[in-house]
Amino acid sequence: MKELLPQMDKITSRYEHKRAALLPVLHLVQEKEGLISPESEKEIAEYLGIPVVHVHEVVSFYHLFWQKPKGKCHFSVCQTTSCALLGGEEIIEHIQKRLGIKPGGTTPDGKFSLDVVECLGACEIAPMMQCNKEYVGFLNKKKIDELIEQNL
Amino acid sequence: MQKIVTRHFNQPDSHRLDFYLKDKGYEGARKALTQMTPAQVIDEIKKSNLRGLGGAGFATGMKWSFIPKDNPKPKYLVVNADEGEPGTFKDKYILEQDPHALLEGIIVTCYAIGSHKAYVYIRGEYLKSIERLQGAIDEAYKQGFLGKGIMGTSFDLDVVVHQGAGAYICGEETALLESLEGKKGFPRLKPPFPAVVGLFGCPTVINNVETLACVPPILVNGSEWFAKLGCEKNGGNRIFCVSGHVREPGIYELPAGTTLREIIYEHAGGIREGHQLKAVIPGGISAAVLTANEIDVKMDFDSLKAIGSMAGSGGIIVMDETTCLVWAAMVAARFFAHESCGQCSPCREGSGWVYRNVKRIYDGEGHPLDLQNLPGIVGNIGGNTICAFGDAVTMAVGSYVQKFRSEFESHIKEKKCDLTLNYAKTNH
Amino acid sequence: MPKLTIDGKAIEVPAGTTIIQAADKLGIDIPRYCYHPALPVAGNCRICMVEIEKQPKLQIACYTPVANGMVVHTNSPKTLEARKSVLEFLLVNHPVDCPVCDQSGECKLQDYYMEHGQYNSRLADVKVKKEKKAFSIGPTVMLDQERCILCTRCVRFADNITKTYEFGVFDRGDHSQLDVVSGKQLDNNYSGNVVDICPVGALTDKDFRFKCRVWYLSQAKSVCPGCSMGCNITVEWDKSRPHTHKKARVMRLKPRLNPNVNDYWMCDVGRYDYHFIDENRILSPQYKDELVSWPQAIETIAQTIKLLKDSNRMDKIGVLASAKLTNEDLFVIRKLFKESLNVSQVDFRVPEPPGHSDDFLIKADKNPNTAGAQAILQQSSADAQQIIQKARQGDMDLLYVFGHDLVKLFGKDTVEQISKKVKLFVFQGSNVNDTCGYAHLILPSAVYAEKDGTFTNCKERVQRIWPAFAPLGESKGDWEILSLLAGKLGISFNYKKSEETFKELTQKIGAFSEMTYEKMADQGMALKK
């Protein structure tokens, strides 16, 4: 984590209180390491001068912080009303079948992972998901198959 | 009809400063900073009848006036870009396609409340929004619209983008403050309210993205103009988000007093081919569901409140006759169960219990006693919690049981669902 | 100051007082889980909601400040309904472990459920399972995450009182779990207190686990004898089933509220150090390895003293009193040895290395009554070291030691020598230690939990201890033993009870003047300057 210190210092300087930089610092560390490990929690706690337990509380509370690494291609599929009305449940089932994993799981080769999430704020392109950083909408089984092929 | 907050959408490079400057960009801010006092700005916004467009519908000018003038602590403006209310996706467009409108609104607001620091809390998944807004902020700093002595005045202002991390409850303003301070999104006990004790214990105003984007046009064109566009006590237009079983889901900027029927049938293309309207959620998942008979209601805050629902975030979710409303209740209950922060007992235990209960009924394992007990159980959550999330569970889930009781009864009696959602008939 | 009415009773309280605080002053017990007077307000359990006239919504009493003219109802139909709903919600996922849960009988879920007549459940759904059930989180405490109602009292305790930050609530919604952060244990000096404040059986004491049902327990108010802090405690002992627990009587100690001393807390050392009350006790008088009767034992000492008196050699008597004795015991030592017998070599200051201390409740002086010993025994013509020195050299005929382990303090050689050289080496104590083997005469005395008396703590606060039960075996209270000895010497101490001893003490020693047991009650009184 030492290499990230200059960036962490820059982030922390934007806030009136060091502790407020916790979320952006966690995003930064996860971007680099793919997850937040217990060691990272300790280092971040020390850096910000807060107890480790408070860092772990934050990591476990927010869904975008991962304690286990996700696949290279991570699907976050929406299951809330608008997406569900337009076939979201079927999409989720199809992905599970194709990849052989359940929500929360990762394929053994580490290539794909699946999370089922609540509304991502893109109901106009329902049914949709977030694939790594991109929002992908108007999903159907064909599109899912294509996406999986592309990322094999 | 004149478009205000969506006037720049769908044009190439609309997010850039040179584009924004071509259409009276930053003139409202300049007018406020150089020709008006903070008190005059607040007054102007009050007269415009601008109301919070994040969901609560609180009169914006009045909210600004709650900031104590004699408090020596620094003041903060926090922009609520956590857009998490299911059915809502409008702020995303403003952030991606017209971020300078938001920035200009931030400048005016900060001037009005005496704040020199604004935080924009954007939901963690909105990566493009974060990128676009940060780009606009960088442009604004270069141009002298942010930083020390902006626009040649002595007013300093800094804006920081803060990325959220996946928790709907952080859209609640005090939970947002907690999250901004580096903690779990646990809503705070109130009073004190953020205007007195907010971010870092200092007086704070929290406003929605769309609300702030309305501010510069009000300054440029006048409060009277804005007020006239809407209806009594609810000025201006607002962006309605339509999704679900309509032909043309998307955002539609319309006067606040437009009827729900007009929005669905005259703007969003009506119900998808070969189907009929059955139910509508008018203002995000927290709003009580409406039957097909109730869609002549005007979509302003007061009219929807009068019929027992809410205008909320303007997220309209349309359901046609293929939809099982027990299933829809279950989806809503599941949302609340997943997003409950867990701080207080009624919501923490109640939201999970209600979900399991409704799911059991949907799965055909319900008992007549369930229907007897469910309204009471759902009703015990709202009114007894730390924040309005509990009220939303009661209002929203309760409305399905109340208005579509026969479907619950049939699930319990028949032990199965009569309706199946026909996925093959989606438009895409 | 605002005046308000709660359930028809009027009260005037300082501005800023919350409704629950005002109600407590009136003796109206509004149900509460997350509220604790010593911890910051959390307002998350919602069970303390009350109805305030002219306000449409119920408000939580722990957070709402009183206002002048406020009219509060804590048992109106609306309030009771809300309260029952909270109780119902809390039992949705709470395992009904009562038959195997230590908290049974002192559980706030049970108590409020019974008080509010919640007998029938309408739950037809599965309960949420949590990760850690019956899980050790440290040397002293067990955690059951499923029983936890997430009131966060323990979290606020670790954050604000001990500032050790062990606890957190992880995840969210009804999957929230209380836990210690991984890699850490609940291992501070005050860990036992979280068991006291946990309203349910989520945090339970390992030491007390499955030991005794609480409805078999009796209580006696006392003061911890572990150090000079004098934390107020309650000794809890099993009155009904002595055939279990291998004849041990005391089951546990609990802290007792005293805002002037320890507030609601006590340290772990004091809390768990009660086994000596029942274990390793000296049960009968012994003379030279043979059991003797009390009259025989007393006669032995009396004879030695008479000889020394007749030959005017009272300087051959050395008394090692102890700061572990009560004020009453010490007063009788003074009265008998110093005043009646003119023995000037009476000291209590043995060379103990100072123990661990902190800036909260733990004091380096591991004696409960140093201040009392100081005020009562005052000066000695020879200090403890000198007395021992003389004894070692054979310059002492009668060495009377109150409980000290001389082997530990002065070494085995010294005590061997003393045993050889001193004519009569008397050891009066409650528990067996290495010194007993070297003493000529062993007198069994009572422990603090068997005494009626007072201790004076490091802040010069005199505090009462009550006896939980009679002295074990043939042991007797220290001053009672000395009274018997006095009687044999023709000096009559006609004390029938400790209160009489104390009364005389207050008449003789200025710092204690005008004190009475009644005035002291169970919260103590400061010595006069």
Question: All domains of chain C, ordered by start, with CATH?
Answer: 3-93 (3.10.20.740), 98-205 (3.30.70.20), 286-526 (3.40.50.740)
pLDDT-derived band of residue B425, with 50, 70 and 90 as boundaries? Answer: very low
Q: Which of B184, B281, B320, B351 to mutate to test the interface with A (most CBs of A within 10 A)?
A: B184
Structural tokens at position B26: 């930053």
Per-residue pLDDT, B232: 83
| Nearest-angstrom CA–CA distance, C454 and C448 | 10
What separation in angstroms does the CA of A34 have from each of A69, A71, B129, C203?
Answer: 6, 9, 22, 35
Cβ contacts of C166 on chain A, cutoff 8 Å: 53
| Nearest-angstrom CA–CA distance, C233 and A127 | 64
pLDDT-derived band of residue B423, with 50, 70 and 90 as boundaries? Answer: very low
Identify the DSSP state of B284: S
Structural tokens at position C373: 């010993």
Residues of chain C scoring pLDDT < 70? 242
Report the pLDDT averaged over residues B126-138: 98
| Nearest-angstrom CA–CA distance, A105 and A112 | 9
The residues with which B100 forms a beta bridge, in sequence order, are none
- Measured N-to-C along each axis, helices B209-221 and B27-35 cross at an angle, to the nearest 10 degrees, of 70
- DSSP string computed for C344-411: --EE----PPP----SSS--S---S-HHHHHHHH---SS-HHHHHHHHHHT--SEEEEES--HHHHH-
Collect all residues with Cβ–Cβ distance below 8 Å to C184 and sequence separation of at least 6: A52, A53, C166
Domain B325-425, CATH class in plain words: mainly alpha
- For residue A147, give how far its alpha carbon lies from the nearest alpha carbon of chain C (Å): 31
Among B342, B370, B386, beta carbon nearest to C174: B342
Among A16, A24, A85, beta carbon nearest to B323: A85
pLDDT-derived band of residue A1, with 50, 70 and 90 as boundaries? Answer: confident
| Interface contact flag, A81 B328, Cβ < 8 Å | yes
Answer whether B237-320 and B325-425 agree in fold. no
| Nearest-angstrom CA–CA distance, B316 and B401 | 20
Q: Please check whether residue B80 is in contact with residue B176, taking contact to mean a CB–CB distance below 8 angstroms.
A: yes
Q: Domain segments of chain B: what residues?
A: 17-229, 237-320, 325-425
| Interface contact flag, A53 C172, Cβ < 8 Å | no
Chain C, residues 81-140, CB within 8 A of chain B, namely 82, 85-86, 88-90, 92-93, 122-126, 128
| Interface contact flag, A81 B335, Cβ < 8 Å | yes
| Nearest-angstrom CA–CA distance, B52 and B209 | 9
Per-residue pLDDT, B1: 76
- DSSP string computed for B362-410: HTT---HHHHHHHHHHHHTTTTSSSSHHHHHHHHHHHHHHHHSHHHHHH
The residues with which B279 forms a beta bridge, in sequence order, are B291, B319
Phi-psi region of A102 (alpha: psi -120 to 50; beta: other; left: phi over 0): beta
> Is a pLDDT exceeding 80 seen at residue B242?
yes
CATH topology for A2-61 is Arc Repressor Mutant, subunit A (1.10.10)
Structural tokens at position C155: 């979290």
Report the residue count for chain B.
428
Strand order across the A73-78 sheet? A112-117, A73-78, A129-131, A134-136
Identify the DSSP state of C66: P
> Is a pLDDT exceeding 50 seen at residue B427?
no
3-state secondary structure of B257: coil
| Nearest-angstrom CA–CA distance, B52 and B78 | 13
Query: What's the CATH architecture for B17-229?
Result: 3-Layer(aba) Sandwich (3.40)
Per-residue pLDDT, C20: 98
Question: Dihedral, CA atoms, C72, C108, C38, C18, nearest 10 degrees?
Answer: -10
| Nearest-angstrom CA–CA distance, B220 and B31 | 8
CA-nearest of C271, C117, C100, C303 to C190 is: C271
| Nearest-angstrom CA–CA distance, C504 and C32 | 46
Q: Please check whether residue C471 is in contact with residue C465, taking contact to mean a CB–CB distance below 8 angstroms.
A: no
| Nearest-angstrom CA–CA distance, B246 and B428 | 12
Phi-psi region of C128 (alpha: psi -120 to 50; beta: other; left: phi over 0): beta
Domain A73-150 has CATH 3.30.1360.120: no
Structural tokens at position B213: 């984007």
Phi-psi region of C370 (alpha: psi -120 to 50; beta: other; left: phi over 0): alpha
How far out from the chain centre does Cα C427 lie? 26
What pairing do the DSSP bridges indicate for beta strands C177-180 and C167-170? antiparallel
Among C82, C92, C169, beta carbon nearest to B349: C92
| Nearest-angstrom CA–CA distance, A138 and B246 | 14
- Measured N-to-C along each axis, helices C412-421 and C384-393 cross at an angle, to the nearest 10 degrees, of 60
| Interface contact flag, A52 C171, Cβ < 8 Å | no
The residues with which C290 forms a beta bridge, in sequence order, are C287
Count of other CB atoms within 10 angstroms of residue C84: 17
Per-residue pLDDT, B428: 35
Q: Please check whether residue B309 is in contact with residue B320, taking contact to mean a CB–CB distance below 8 angstroms.
A: no
B167's enclosing H/E stretch is: none
Identify the DSSP state of B327: H
Query: What's the CATH architecture for B237-320?
Result: Roll (3.10)
Cβ contacts of B198 on chain A, cutoff 8 Å: none
Report the pLDDT averaged over residues B214-236: 92
Structural tokens at position C141: 């405490």
Cβ contacts of B337 on chain C, cutoff 8 Å: 173-174
Q: Please check whether residue C76 is in contact with residue C51, taking contact to mean a CB–CB distance below 8 angstroms.
A: yes
- For residue B81, give how far its alpha carbon lies from the nearest alpha carbon of chain C (Å): 22
Phi-psi region of B149 (alpha: psi -120 to 50; beta: other; left: phi over 0): left
How far out from the chain centre does Cα C467 lie? 12
CA terminus-to-terminus distance, chain A:
31
Considering only CA atoms, give the Rg of chain C: 27
Count of other CB atoms within 10 angstroms of residue B307: 13
Collect all residues with Cβ–Cβ distance below 8 Å to C164 and sequence separation of at least 6: C158, C188
* Burial group, residue C455, by CB count within 10 angstroms (0-12, 13-18, 19+): buried
Cβ contacts of A56 on chain C, cutoff 8 Å: 168, 170, 181-182
pLDDT in tens, B248-287: 999 999 998 899 999 999 999 999 999 999 999 999 999 9
| Interface contact flag, B163 A23, Cβ < 8 Å | yes
What separation in angstroms does the CA of B395 have from each of B86, B289, B370, B403, C85?
Answer: 15, 9, 18, 12, 17
CA-nearest of C254, C274, C251 to C264 is: C254
Cβ contacts of C149 on chain B, cutoff 8 Å: 345
- For residue A152, give how far its alpha carbon lies from the nearest alpha carbon of chain B (Å): 24
Q: Is A132 on the interface with B (CB under 8 A)?
A: no
CA-nearest of A126, A77, A123 to B423 is: A126
| Nearest-angstrom CA–CA distance, B305 and B317 | 18
Q: Is A119 on the interface with B (CB under 8 A)?
A: yes
| Interface contact flag, C170 A38, Cβ < 8 Å | no
What is the dihedral sign for C-alpha A128, B179, B317, B215?
A: negative
| Nearest-angstrom CA–CA distance, C324 and C446 | 12
How far out from the chain centre does Cα B40 lie? 27
Per-residue pLDDT, B426: 39
Per-residue pLDDT, C241: 78
Q: Is C43 on the interface with B (CB under 8 A)?
A: yes
Backbone angles phi, psi at B97, to 5 degrees: -110, -15
The residues with which C427 forms a beta bridge, in sequence order, are C401, C442
Position C281: which residue type?
R
pLDDT-derived band of residue B421, with 50, 70 and 90 as boundaries? Answer: low
> Is a pLDDT exceeding 90 seen at residue B316?
yes
Mean predicted lDDT score pLDDT of chain B: 95
3-state secondary structure of C318: strand
What pairing do the DSSP bridges indicate for beta strands B277-281 and B315-320? antiparallel
pLDDT in tens, B3-56: 999 999 999 999 999 999 999 999 999 999 999 999 999 999 999 999 999 988
Q: Domain segments of chain A: what residues?
A: 2-61, 73-150
Answer whether A2-61 and A73-150 agree in fold. no
Identify the DSSP state of C509: -
> Is a pLDDT exceeding 90 seen at residue B391?
yes
| Interface contact flag, B349 C89, Cβ < 8 Å | yes
Per-residue pLDDT, C247: 82
Cβ contacts of C150 on chain B, cutoff 8 Å: 342, 345, 348
| Interface contact flag, A53 C183, Cβ < 8 Å | no
> Is a pLDDT exceeding 70 seen at residue A134?
yes
| Nearest-angstrom CA–CA distance, C522 and C502 | 16
| Interface contact flag, A53 C168, Cβ < 8 Å | yes
Per-residue pLDDT, C381: 86
Cβ contacts of A118 on chain C, cutoff 8 Å: none
Collect all residues with Cβ–Cβ distance below 8 Å to B239 and sequence separation of at least 6: B5, B6, B53, B90, B93, B210, B251, B252, B253, B314
| Nearest-angstrom CA–CA distance, A151 and B16 | 33
Q: What ipTM does the predicted assembly reach?
A: 0.97
Share of chain B above pLDDT 70, in %: 98
Collect all residues with Cβ–Cβ distance below 8 Å to C340 and sequence separation of at least 6: C486, C489, C491
3-state secondary structure of B303: helix
3-state secondary structure of A18: helix
pLDDT in tens, B323-379: 999 999 999 999 999 999 999 999 999 999 999 999 999 999 999 999 999 999 999
| Nearest-angstrom CA–CA distance, C149 and B12 | 55
